[in-house]
Amino acid sequence: MSLYVESLPDQHPLSPVRGDRNKCPVPGTLYNMNTVEEFQGLDRGDLLKREAKKIWNDICSGRAIEEGTLLLRFFVISFADLKKSTFSYWFAFPALFLNPPATLVDIRPASQFFNLDEAKSLSMSLNEWRNSKLTTDVPFFLVCISSDEHATIRPLRELEDCQHDAKRLLFGFYDSCNGKYPGWPLCNYLALICSRWKLEKVSFLCYRESNRGFPDLGRSLVGEALVSVPQEWRDAQHVPKSLGWELDGEKLSAKCVSLARSMDPLRSAEIAADLNLKLMKWNVFKDMNLETLTTVKCLLLGAGTLGCQVARLLMSWGVRKITLLDNGRVSMSNLLRQNLYSFEDCVAGDMKAVAAVKGLKRSLPSVKAEGVVLSIPMPGHPISTQDSSNVVEDCKQLQNLIESHDVIFLLTDTRESRWLPSLLSANANKIAINAALGFDSFLVMRHGSGPISSIPKDGEEVEDASASLSLGNSSASRRDGGPRLGCYFCNDVVAPIDSTSNRTLDQQCTVTRPALASIASGLAVELLVGVLHHPDGIYAPGDIAHSNVAIERSLGILPHQIRGCLSQFSQLTLVGHSSDSCTACSDAVVSEFRSRGMEFVLEVLNHPTYLEDLTGLTSLMKSASSFDIDFDIDSNEDGDI
């Protein structure tokens, strides 16, 4: 650590002649305390004594003669309250003092001490001394004035030669202080001279420079110090007393600086928001990739109870690029359960997607959030011919949004509203996270990769996701050759249908225990963070509870599905592989979508049994009916009032 900074570049017209002029290196130690109690309870007397002993040892060993900067040791104790942006610090410059103390006499400006010839010669010698790369960092030196009034600068180790050759000899030192008296470096300098050479009368030059780095004899001082060697110094084990704690005005106390008012409020909010993550990375999660979290783009389909919770938690993990899609308006029943909305949003009749962005920016103005008002086309909800063009445009917009984001969260009210996003995510091979609620149960899962036969290896470049996928056997799409994980619809034996028409309010919406959405949302976000930090990413296999990988990874296991029941306070981690008859991610469905595009989507919307025929579920149901198997499908799983 150094006691100086360079505020002007070397090329600046007001800068010193050399970049290293007008300053001198000073070695220092920073003692930073982790708590305010440590800072306040520090034994300052013992610390000052220990630092002074270092200086004394360098004097006794002779090391300070060769490395003069060791006499200028300093230290600072500090504590930073990062939450309040306040910084407490206390500098100490250990100075050994003589007993009896030295007496300074005849102190006057150097320009009054030397004659014109001596002053001119001395200025030239000092300038050459400071220009030299070998001596510019040497703060202590000898000034030798010969009989012909020629001045030379010599190192301390040549004292004996100078005593024989010089008509006048001064002990010089670089002093960055101003005023009528020499600065604190003279204390330790006299201790060195007194201890090593036993001199009782010392002539010194307190050398100072002008603002441009040239010798300034008008500011420099010359004087004499009368000293005597203290008796106790003859004991090699003795350490002289010292002082040196910096005053705060007239008080002996630490200084405190608050940067809160001077800091940009937006920047302060960003620093505070990232503080927990940085502490996590420092203490626990050392493999955390903050850059990945900051740059990942998340698309939240649904801005209801789940969407609001997920958005806030994503920001807590450092995600700063969030898009929320919804087609509803803020209502009175939303306010207590959906924390991004206010009473004013409800009264104004604001769209949820727009109001949610305002809610996010209230917490962190720098978040790059966007709201999209869009209705997701759903199977089982037929559309008229005149509306088909608008629906196609909605489908294309949704497809563009999914392809332009890295992660898709499926958080919509109904099961059928998740079908098209699931298909588009599989087609683009995007990370998809699903969360669904019952009254006291929940499901959180990550979709597997798309049905591709060729997975890019590490180091290979990947082109546009939708263009680079080549379809193949969906049961062998993982990097390690294992079966790929299933999606939300892989376990279904019927296509998604209309779950809201001709139903009462309690049938349309899933009534849930208030805490359930928070639990599911938290698990969904944690699941994403696990995927982003897994070496295989979207291709990562599903782990189950009590797996050994929990020890190997900082975040523990990475499950495929998490099913919980709040009434039992239980939770299960399950693994489900993809199905060749899946109505959303199977080869047959994705291939048909790529072949026919939006024409295929329109047919699915208008003909509920089309998906079952395409995937073979119709023939499966016929085969199963011969065994009198009753399929009871509860489609009302995750509604939101």
The residues that are catalytic are 509
Q: Which helix (H) or strand (E) holds 98?
A: none
Do residues 632 and 431 touch, judged by C-beta distance below 8 A?
A: no
* Secondary structure of 337-374 as H, E, C letters: CCCCCCHHHHHHCCEHHHHHHHHHHHHCCCCEEEEEEC
What Å distances lie between residue 338 and 297, 307, 355, 455, 517, CA to CA?
Answer: 22, 8, 11, 39, 10
Type of residue found at 353: A
What Å distances lie between residue 567 and 26, 325, 506, 571, CA to CA?
Answer: 67, 32, 20, 11
User: What's the chain's length in residues?
Assistant: 641
* Residue 161 tokens, joined: 């030669």
Do residues 385 and 391 touch, judged by C-beta distance below 8 A?
A: no
Residue 220: phi and psi, rounded to 5, are -65, 155
Dihedral of CA atoms 411, 426, 353, 522 in degrees, nearest 10, equals 40
CA distance 238 to 234: 8
* Residue 255 tokens, joined: 């200084």
CA distance 87 to 251: 18
Do residues 424 and 399 touch, judged by C-beta distance below 8 A?
A: yes
DSSP-assigned letters across all residues of 216-268: -TTT-EEEEEE----GGGGSTT----EEEEPPBTTB-S-EEEE-TTTS-HHHH
In the beta sheet, which residues pair with residue 87? 80, 257
Residue 511: phi and psi, rounded to 5, are -80, 125
Do residues 445 and 434 touch, judged by C-beta distance below 8 A?
A: yes
Tell me, what DSSP letter sits at residue 88? E
CB neighbourhood size of 211 (10 A): 10
Do residues 412 and 418 touch, judged by C-beta distance below 8 A?
A: yes
In the beta sheet, which residues pair with residue 221? 109, 206
CA distance 429 to 485: 12
Three-class DSSP category at 418? helix
Type of residue found at 564: G
What Å distances lie between residue 485 and 540, 579, 620, CA to CA?
Answer: 9, 9, 22
Dihedral of CA atoms 153, 158, 162, 168 in degrees, nearest 10, equals 50
- Sorted by sequence, the CB contacts under 8 Å of residue 101 that are 6+ apart come out as none
Of residues 117, 216, 130, 208, the one with CA closest to residue 168:
117
The answer, yes or no, to whether the previous bond of 16 is cis (omega within 30 of 0) is no
Burial of 9-26, coded b for 16+ CB within 10 Å and e otherwise, reads eeeeeebbeeebbbbbeb
Radius of gyration (Cα) for the chain, nearest Å?
Answer: 38
* Residue 382 tokens, joined: 């037929």
Do residues 30 and 1 touch, judged by C-beta distance below 8 A?
A: yes
Residue 459: phi and psi, rounded to 5, are 95, -15
